[in-house]
Each structure stands twice: as C-alpha cells, then as structure tokens.
Amino acid sequence: MRHLACLVLLLSVGTGFAQEDSWVGKTIITKRLDAKLIQFDAKGKQVNPAPLDDSIHYRVLADKGAQIKVVTTQGVEGWMDKNDAVRPEDAVKHFTEAIVANPKDAGAYQKRAYAFELEGKFDSALRDLTDAIHLEFYDMAGYNSRGIVYTAKKEYDQALRDFSLAIRYDPTHPAGYCNRGNVFLAKKEYGKAVNDYNAALRRDPRLAYPYNQRGLARFLNKDYDDALDDFDTAQKLEPSSAAAHLNRARLLATAGAKKYCDGKKAVAEVKTSLKLDKYPGPDALEIIAAAHAEAGNFPEAIRWQERAIEAHPAEGRASARARARLLLYNAKTPYRQE
C-alpha cells in the first residue's frame, strides 16, 4: 500500500467538449495509488507533476470527455484520464470486485473505505482500513486513513493514536503531522496544532495546506498577525486555491479585535474564492455571508447564510450555529469571533 496521495498520470489533455453526463462539480475517487496529476502552464506546456498532498478524493472542475480536471482536498489542480477515476456511487462495487479478484490487495480495501466514508458509513470504512493495515502493517497510509475516519467520527483519541503510528512508520511524510494537527485543532489545542503544522512544513515547505491550517489555528487562538502571514504564504504557494482567500476573509470579517476587520477587503477575498471554487460548501457559504455582513450588506449576508443553512445537515451543532448567525444578520449585526 502506498501513501495516500492518489495522483494519476496523464499524457495528453485533449480538447473535446464535456459529455452530457458531465462530472463537473462531482466528487471522484482514483482507481490507482501510484500516480501523479499533470499540470499545464498558461501556454499549454506540461509542467512538473503536482506535489503529493495525500488527498483521498477529488472534485471535478472541468470535463472534456476522456479527461477531467480535478482539484484535490488541499487545493492542487491537475488533469487525469477519466477512465482512471470512479464516482463514489460506483466505487464500492468497483473495489469490491478488485478485492474478490485479489483479497490481498490492501489498496483496494483502502479505496473502498474512502467510498464508505463518503457515504457516511464510517464503521464499514474502519473495517476495511483495519483489514488493509493487517495486510501491510508497517505502512503509514492505513493508519493515516483510519485516523481520518476516526476524526470524522469525532473519536479524537483513536485518531491521535493512528496519526502518531503513521508518523512513527514514516516520520518524513507531512501527512501524519497535518492530520494530527487537525485533530488538535478540533480539540482547541491550538499550540499543539501549530507544532504539528510546523513539523509538516519542515518536511515539505512547498505545501500550502499546512500554512493554511497553521493560519487557521493562529486565527482561532487570536494570533491575527501571524495568521495573516500564513494565509499570504499559502496564497503565494497555491494561487489557484480558494482556501487561503476564504481564511483571510474569515479573519477580516469576524476577528475579535475590531482593528483587523475590513468588510470591503473580506468581500473582495470571497469574490476571488468564488472564481476559484464555484461550488462552496456550507462552511465557505457562512464565511461569504460573514464578509457581506461586515461590509454592511445584510440582505446579501442573509441570502448567503440561508444557503449555508440549506447546505448543512438539518440537525447538529453546525446547523444551530448557522441559524444563530442568521438571527444576527436579520438584526443587522455582524458576527464576531468569541
């Protein structure tokens, strides 16, 4: 079993038009573990493969028939052959067939686990990842993947254990540090999160993701100047990613210290993010709403916040938080970090 990065080599991009069954906006899972995304510059010349960022699945930005342009969970874009991808609704069947053909294929168990995770079937995903670990006990990828599922289940102690094992079996790879940092972030242990993102950056300072996450930890810890520096660096490293723009907008719109708030700049950041990512998730929609509220455009803030509420699951803390913010905007009051 290889590391989690699932990047697929493409020799030519092609120029066909998107088929009627377009995959644009949809999530896909790659069929292979041993590949690389291919990127092109503005003149159409192939550049170096995208850096490994350990994405489990990808979202499709463009569909030209035989090839698709995808963005990883960490904001890296590139092209791949559509035949090397499978949609989540077809993935369990595809990887089950692969397991039947070769019951010792640890990668197939890992990939099927990704599909189960996307369906919210976390226990099934955990069983597959445990089987993958039994097949390749000393490979960090299985522990890393299982830790991600435990994180999704909010079983943070188990997640920390698995990420620490992933680091033990491959201390040179940044993924374990990033993911363990994310658990500390969720636990509001911001100092520990920053330490792990620092460790990830020592392994690979070219990655935008640890800068974004470290900036988020610093923002939540109200270390606003250092957070802005991290978001700036992330933008420079990955200018095509919406994440750093959204994070800057969140700080500029909601910082607990008024001197950092700037509604006009926050709105400019979210507009840039929407050009880069036309399918924002519920958390991004809330940031967009907060930016408009800070700028004093409450009708627009209400419109985006209502979209966020629709995108969130009907129950749970996120939905309750989103509804509370809508009440603020109806009262013409911006949201402020507590």
The pTM score is 0.81
Do residues 333 and 317 touch, judged by C-beta distance below 8 A? no
Interval 80-98: pLDDT, tens: 888 888 998 999 999 999 9
Q: Is residue 93 part of a domain?
A: yes
Q: Which pLDDT value is given to residue 9? A: 29
Look at residue 29 and tell me whether its pLDDT is greater than 80. Answer: yes
Q: Which pLDDT value is given to residue 6? A: 31
Q: Is residue 73 part of a domain?
A: yes
User: Token digits for 176?
Assistant: 């374990």
Q: Which pLDDT value is given to residue 38? A: 76
CA angle 20, 92, 120 (to 5 degrees): 95
User: Do residues 42 and 103 share a domain?
Assistant: no
Q: Is residue 330 part of a domain?
A: yes
User: Do residues 260 and 336 share a domain?
Assistant: yes
User: Do residues 328 and 261 share a domain?
Assistant: yes
Q: What value does the mean pLDDT take over residues 176-194?
A: 98
- In which element (H, E) is residue 195 found? helix 190-203
- Give the other-Cβ count within 10 Å of 94's Cβ: 16
Is the dihedral angle over the CA atoms 277, 278, 282, 284 positive or is it negative? positive
Q: Is residue 153 part of a domain?
A: yes
Interval 140-167: pLDDT, tens: 989 999 999 999 999 999 999 999 999 9
Q: Is residue 74 part of a domain?
A: yes
Confidence of residue 51 (pLDDT cuts 50, 70, 90): very low
CATH code at 39? 2.30.30
Q: Is residue 123 part of a domain?
A: yes
Q: Is residue 221 part of a domain?
A: no
For residue 72, which phi and psi values (nearest 5 degrees)?
-80, 170
Q: Is residue 107 part of a domain?
A: yes
Question: Which of 122, 137, 171 is the C-terminal boundary of a domain?
Answer: 171
Query: Higher model confidence: residue 78 or residue 206?
Result: 206
User: Do residues 9 and 36 share a domain?
Assistant: yes
Question: In terms of Cα–Cα distance, which of 133, 94, 132, 98 is closest to 115?
Answer: 94
C-alpha distances in angstroms, 132 versus 33, 35, 137, 176, 288?
A: 14, 19, 8, 17, 40
Interval 283-322: pLDDT, tens: 999 999 999 999 999 999 999 999 999 998 877 788 899 9
Task: Report the SS3 class of residue 105.
Answer: coil
User: Do residues 70 and 107 share a domain?
Assistant: no
User: Do residues 96 and 25 share a domain?
Assistant: no
Q: What value does the mean pLDDT take over residues 179-197?
A: 98
Q: What's the structural domain count of the chain?
A: 3
User: Do residues 122 and 158 share a domain?
Assistant: yes
Q: What value does the mean pLDDT take over residues 241-259?
A: 95
User: Do residues 76 and 116 share a domain?
Assistant: no
Question: Which of 153, 171, 189 is the C-terminal boundary of a domain?
Answer: 171
C-alpha distances in angstroms, 128 versus 2, 91, 125, 136?
A: 16, 14, 5, 13
The range of the structural domain enclosing residue 325 comes to 242-338
User: Do residues 254 and 334 share a domain?
Assistant: yes
Look at residue 237 and tell me whether its pLDDT is greater than 50. Answer: yes
User: Do residues 251 and 293 share a domain?
Assistant: yes
Confidence of residue 2 (pLDDT cuts 50, 70, 90): very low
User: Do residues 56 and 118 share a domain?
Assistant: no
CATH code at 280? 1.25.40.10
User: Do residues 247 and 306 share a domain?
Assistant: yes
- Give the other-Cβ count within 10 Å of 240's Cβ: 14
The whole-angstrom separation of Cα 328 and Cα 129 is 43
Question: Which of 155, 171, 187 is the C-terminal boundary of a domain?
Answer: 171
Task: Report the SS3 class of residue 86.
Answer: strand
The whole-angstrom separation of Cα 138 and Cα 142 is 9
